[in-house]
């Protein structure tokens, strides 16, 4: 079973807010000068911010904020966030898999930005929604 896709917009303001809330002040997430100096195309979103947005999709699909038992991702491609009002967007989709364990459901997740996968092997195990 597929779940309905969700889209999240990411702007530079979101990155600043996430940096403050998470304590991750790496300048690749706010300084174009620094990001390009280390070989990135520009300021990129924190991988953990992308993972958090996908996590939002997971708890919303689960219908419960405390349903997540396990959650893992591999970061494959940076999410570049331009310095304008539009920012960028990630799209999150999920396929439901049987875990074989009663009461648990696995979600195989896909997150893309401009059609390219930004996470791989992204999976969450949730308590099966009632």
Binding segment toward other proteins, per CB under 8 A, in 50-58, 87-95, 100-108, 110-118: 50-58
97 binds other proteins (CB under 8 A): no
Question: With contact defined as beta carbons under 8 Å apart, do 46 and 24 qualify?
Answer: yes
Question: Distance between CA 127 and CA 65 in Å, rounded?
Answer: 11
Among 29, 43, 47, 118, binds other proteins (CB under 8 A): 47
Handedness of CA 58, 124, 75, 48 (dihedral sign): positive
Binding segment toward other proteins, per CB under 8 A, in 58-66, 87-95, 96-104, 108-116: 58-66
56 binds other proteins (CB under 8 A): yes
């Amino acid at each position: 079973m597929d779940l309905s896709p969700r889209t999240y917009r990411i702007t530079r303001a979101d990155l600043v807010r996430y940096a403050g809330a998470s304590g991750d002040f790496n300048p690749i997430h706010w300084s174009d000068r620094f990001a390009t100096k280390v070989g990135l195309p520009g300021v990129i979103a924190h991988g953990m911010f992308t993972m958090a947005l996908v996590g939002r999709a997971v708890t919303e699909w689960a219908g419960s904020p405390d349903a997540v038992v396990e959650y893992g991702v591999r970061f494959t491609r940076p999410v570049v966030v331009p310095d304008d009002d539009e920012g960028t967007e990630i799209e999150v989709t999920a396929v439901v898999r049987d875990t074989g364990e009663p009461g648990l459901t696995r979600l195989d997740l896909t997150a893309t930005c401009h059609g390219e996968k930004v996470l791989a092997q992204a999976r969450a195990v949730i308590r099966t929604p009632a």
